[in-house]
């Protein structure tokens, strides 16, 4: 059922390799996942999942998932021990080569697979700005960062031009996994086939070039920019890279890591021009008949170190941050909560008050713009002089709670908790965290041997 114009394009693109490409669509799509390192070590996760996973040779802490069953009800998934991610989609973050303490932007971030993969590599240090233009998708993105217990992220809800104005020359590494025509997902998501057209390919290419232009402004001198798509079209891939290089002489292509090179094919040589040959040499393509998963394109750029820095508007930065210190009432409620839960205040960032409640922001987050959907770890609100904790507080900082209800994956109370039911508990009265295999899952309030359930209603299982 693949569109004939698409097939003709791929035959021209692949030549004698085209029959192998076509045959791949009769095979099941590969599945993968990456560990949630804020919750669990990848070795521990692999031991828990057993024969269902096999390590990938190209991405650290990432696995092929060999089981065909669903994972939505798996308690380890609920606890953020892993994130399901298509294997080829892991490659752009590998190309970005993130290091702890860096400032990283994921410009087109929803639903969050690459953002949570970036967070793994930051290891809780530095800052991740995960941006999503579509508000409804920002909700999903923020929810996945919460589930995975990421503590050093800000979720912004803005277009690329706005992000560029807020963060000029700010980031060490920027990922642009651009909205595209989705040709690389036809095997995994057949619905994408009905949306495909050559007109849409051209429209996507035009939009991608605008996004890349703005993304370039956020990269610091000497910083890195990775452009990726999940499509095969030359217009959206190689020709867009050529367009970008022609407009931005302060950027040059760089070789991708060997682990990525080993599972991908060279980019398509669109012409005999020297710059086109350079793109064909450095950019990479993943195909379903040769790669670890579905279709993917990626190109890595580096910005020249002698690029002049823009003038920073310090007043604008101060005005954009709408945080304030806690009031005396909030401060007392916060300290009372920590004392009751047995948490050392020094283990957590300093709480700050926003319009929607109290949040904990890592010190490396210097600017929270007005276009922010979520910031750091939402800790809760103060009502009647008491803290009503947010789910994110348990998910991200549950390891610091002195009171823990530790459940094994086979404990029947675990299913009851995920359904939102009260469960028996022999902990002292007060707030506690529920863990599964050591991973913080959510909160409870213990009263006279019964744990009142504070797992969010929107996350609960129906059966």
Residue-wise DSSP of 45-63: HHHHHGGGEEE-SSSTTEE
Q: Crossing angle, helix 238-247 and helix 198-216, to 10 degrees?
A: 30
3-state secondary structure of 282: helix
Q: Sign of the C-alpha dihedral, residues 456, 459, 462, 463?
A: negative
Q: Sign of the C-alpha dihedral, residues 76, 439, 443, 449?
A: positive
Pairing mode of beta strands 430-436, 404-407: parallel
Rounded alpha-carbon distances, angstroms, from residue 183 to 61, 180, 310? 27, 8, 38
Q: Which residues of 165-192 are buried (b: 16+ CB within 10 A; e: fewer)?
A: bbbbbbbbbbbbbbbbbbbbbbbbeeeb
Annotation marks residue 425 as catalytic: no
Asked if residues 145 and 121 have their Cβ atoms less than 8 Å apart, the reply is no
Q: Rounded to whole angstroms, how far apart are CA atoms 418 and 292?
A: 33
Cross-strand pairs, 83 = 34
Asked if residues 169 and 220 have their Cβ atoms less than 8 Å apart, the reply is yes
Q: Which of 62, 108, 204, 230 is catalytic?
A: 230
3-state secondary structure of 256: coil
The residues near 120 (Cβ < 8 Å, ≥ 6 apart) are: 34, 35, 36, 37, 38, 61
CA dihedral 392, 398, 403, 405 (to 10 degrees): 90
Query: Which residues are marked as active site?
Result: 230
């Amino acid at each position: 059922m693949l569109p004939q114009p698409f097939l003709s394009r791929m035959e021209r693109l692949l030549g004698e390799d085209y029959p192998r490409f076509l045959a791949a669509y009769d095979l099941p799509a590969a599945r993968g996942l990456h560990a949630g390192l804020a919750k669990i070590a990848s070795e521990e996760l692999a031991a828990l999942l057993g024969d269902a996973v096999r390590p990938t040779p190209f991405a650290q802490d990432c696995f092929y998932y060999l089981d065909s069953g669903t994972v939505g009800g798996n308690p380890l998934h609920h606890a953020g021990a892993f994130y399901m991610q298509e294997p080829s989609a892991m490659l752009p973050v590998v190309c970005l080569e993130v290091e702890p303490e860096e400032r990283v932007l994921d410009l087109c971030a929803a639903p969050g697979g690459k953002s949570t993969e970036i967070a793994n590599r930051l290891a809780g240090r530095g800052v991740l700005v995960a941006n999503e233009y579509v508000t409804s998708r920002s909700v999903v993105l923020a929810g996945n960062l919460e589930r995975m217990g990421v503590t050093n992220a800000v979720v912004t809800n803005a277009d690329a031009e706005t992000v560029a104005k807020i963060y000029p020359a700010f980031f060490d590494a920027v990922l642009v996994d651009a909205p595209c025509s989705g040709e690389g997902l036809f095997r995994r998501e057949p619905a994408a086939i009905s949306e495909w057209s050559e007109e849409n390919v051209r429209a996507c290419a035009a939009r991608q070039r605008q996004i890349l232009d703005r993304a370039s402004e956020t990269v610091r001198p000497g910083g890195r920019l990775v452009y990726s798509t999940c499509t095969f079209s030359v217009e959206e891939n190689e020709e867009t890279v050529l367009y970008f290089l022609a407009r931005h002489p302060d950027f040059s292509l760089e070789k991708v890591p060997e682990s990525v090179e080993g599972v991908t094919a060279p980019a398509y040589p669109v012409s005999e021009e020297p710059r086109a040959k350079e793109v064909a040499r450095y950019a990479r393509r993943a195909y379903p008949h040769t790669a670890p998963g579905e279709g993917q394109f990626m190109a890595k750029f580096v910005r020249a170190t002698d690029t002049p820095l823009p003038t920073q508007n310090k007043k604008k930065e101060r005005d954009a941050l709408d945080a304030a210190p806690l009031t005396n009432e909030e401060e007392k409620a916060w300290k009372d909560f920590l004392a009751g839960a047995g948490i050392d205040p020094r283990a957590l960032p300093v709480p700050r008050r926003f319009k929607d409640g109290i949040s904990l922001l890592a010190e490396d987050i210097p600017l929270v713009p007005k276009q922010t959907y979520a910031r750091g770890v939402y800790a809760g609100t103060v009502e009647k002089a008491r803290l009503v904790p947010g789910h994110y507080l348990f998910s991200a900082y549950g390891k610091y709670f002195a009171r823990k209800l530790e459940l094994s994956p086979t404990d029947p109370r675990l299913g009851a908790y995920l359904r939102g039911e009260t469960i028996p508990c022999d902990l002292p009265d007060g707030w506690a965290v529920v863990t599964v295999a050591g991973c913080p899952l959510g909160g409870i309030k213990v009263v006279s041997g019964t744990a009142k359930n504070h797992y969010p209603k929107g996350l609960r299982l129906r059966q």
